[in-house]
A and B are shown apart, each in its own frame.
Chain A
Amino acid sequence: MGMQSQDIIRRSATNGLTPLPQARSHEQEVAKLIDVSLCTGCKGCQVACSEWNDLRDDVGHNVGVYDNPANLSPETWTVIRFDEYEDETGKLEWLLRKEGCMHCAEPGCLKACPSPGAILQFANGIVDFQSEQCIGCGYCIAGCPFDVPRISSKDNRAYKCTLCADRVAVGQEPACVKTCPTGAISFGSKAEMKDLASSRIEELKGRGHDGAGLYDPPGVGGTHVMYVLTHADQPSLYHRLPDNPHISPVVRGWKEWLKPVGALGFIATLAGAFVHYMGVGANTTEEEPPVDLPAKKLENADQDSAQNGRDA
């Protein structure tokens, strides 16, 4: 994206010693709030997303559920999940969730990405893939706690929801928010969205949804896509929404622990070799003058080897 109307707070594969553009300090954190209790599963948001972002996924197959397309893909950046849930009393509930990138405050994709600048986190909280820098390694997929990024087989580049960074940059709400006919998706500053969520949660609790609550998981530093869930105590009911999402310790070990240890290993190995050479000097061979073969010596050598025997 050529436009640069937002400050950048994190840039993939970039050393923290070099500060990123951050002179504009007034930028507000934004958030999208998805109230699952208001969603009717109309998929208008999916259509708006495809339309605004010029995505035209292939027509898939009906796999016996209402999820359509069946999964996120490089050309489907959001999909409504339909999950059936029976509570203790046997009452059936249909739990709907608009799945897509959560725009984590501590993004695992960005931590894992090895290509400088292929993933940016803007000061307003949006985490965006810069497709022209993407090399298609798929590390972002391993880094993501929500299983969101998808690599296109057409161009070997990763794609996901941009939170309509291009719309937000010019003061508009994301396309899905704009189009949602029931008002289930709201957009504004993160503080406003938290306020809105708390009033909605109060209302839901008043109507008997005792488990209602906000999904803004602290394990990833909070997210810039939040849910109002009617069963906030059991997020995994909503199509395996992680109860406590966090960057995998394996990914952390790889990026935070192995990297400095590896760097030390290199320095130690190279320094050790150099010091050894300085201290001991070259291991040379004192060549005898190339006269006739020293037959006598060879005979001795033969005797030696006869005594020593041979290896297996």
Chain B
Amino acid sequence: MDNSNLVLRTKLIDRMFHWSMVSCFTLVALSGLSWFFPSLNWLGYVLGPPQLARVLHPFLGIAVFGLLMCMFVRFVHHNLFVRTDLIWFKHIIDVLLNKHGQKLQIGKYNAGQKILFWGIMSLISLLFVSGLMIWRAYFAVFFPITVLRLALLAHSVAGLALILLVIGHIYMGLWVRGSIGGMISGYVSRTWARQHHDRWYEEEVAPTNPLHSKRSG
């Protein structure tokens, strides 16, 4: 296969963080939904009988939190908002209507992805803290019932919001062809990179192309 048309977008270590987190998150989210919507009780059986699911859910939740914190360290510098993100916001309708053409000066991640990044990171932190508080086997005994009730509510709200965000994230991956393959192999095509992340391509991919002299600064 001719790799010259492909550029590395996500390193192996980052893909490993992402997909191991996805595996744990799927199990945690489905079991969590089984308790929030008892009519969907069967979702919880991904972790075995309900009693076992209740035991495993918090441990897997900690794994999700830990892996997301690794991803935070790896990805945060790409997800700080910059002035050119305003261009993306101004053209959000065109973006959603699949109208390509203008250069939106999108860096490695677009402004929507940055919102997703900060949404996921803040919601998982809220889930982590509230989840520890309501963890009956270890920590719930240290909190008064009024605080536990609020923590339960916060845990449910944050869990719902996170799952809805992730559904949006999955949809975007399905919609934008090449994204999921890119997150698995790590590589995207040059055209894909130029089309979806023009500024990233121009500033970071093209300058480091071996056929061109490296730019400094």
A residues lining the B interface (CB < 8 Å): 12-15, 114-116, 134-139, 141-142, 147, 151, 153, 156, 248, 250-251, 253-254, 258-259, 262-263, 265-266, 269-270, 273, 276-277, 280-288, 290, 293, 295, 298-299, 301-302, 304-305, 308, 310-312
Contacts and interface: CB of A to CB of B under 8 A. Distances in A.
B103 A290 contact: no
16 contacts: A114-B38, A134-B51, A135-B53, A136-B51, A138-B136, A138-B140, A142-B145, A156-B54, A156-B136, A250-B149, A258-B157, A258-B160, A276-B175, A277-B174, A298-B209, A301-B206
Contact of A147 (B54, B145, B178, B215): B145
B167 interface: yes
Residue from the set A115, A281, A299, A311 with the largest chain B CB neighbour count within 10 Å? A311
Nearest to A143: B149
B209 A15 contact: no
A282 B41 CA distance: 34
Contacts, number: 156
Contacts of B156: 254, 258, 262
A116 B148 CA distance: 22
Q: Which 3 A-B pairs have the closest CB atoms?
A: A13-B38, A305-B202, A138-B136
A301 B148 CA distance: 56
Residue picked from B54, B137, B150, B178, most chain A C-beta under 10 Å = B54
**Chain B interface mostly helix, strand, loop or mixed?**
helix
B184 interface: no
Contacts of A270: 167
Contacts of B35: 114-115, 137
Interface of B: 2, 4-5, 34-39, 41, 50-51, 53-55, 80, 82-84, 96-98, 103, 105, 107, 134, 136-137, 140, 145-146, 148-150, 152-153, 156-157, 160, 164, 167-168, 171, 174-178, 189, 191-192, 194-196, 199, 201-203, 206-207, 209, 211-212, 215
Contact of A285 (B53, B107, B178): B178
A213 B202 CA distance: 82
B206 A290 contact: no
Contact of A269 (B164, B189, B215): B164
A115 B149 contact: no
B164 A266 contact: yes
A80 to B, nearest CB: 22
Given A141-B145, A282-B177, A285-B178, A250 B202 contact: no
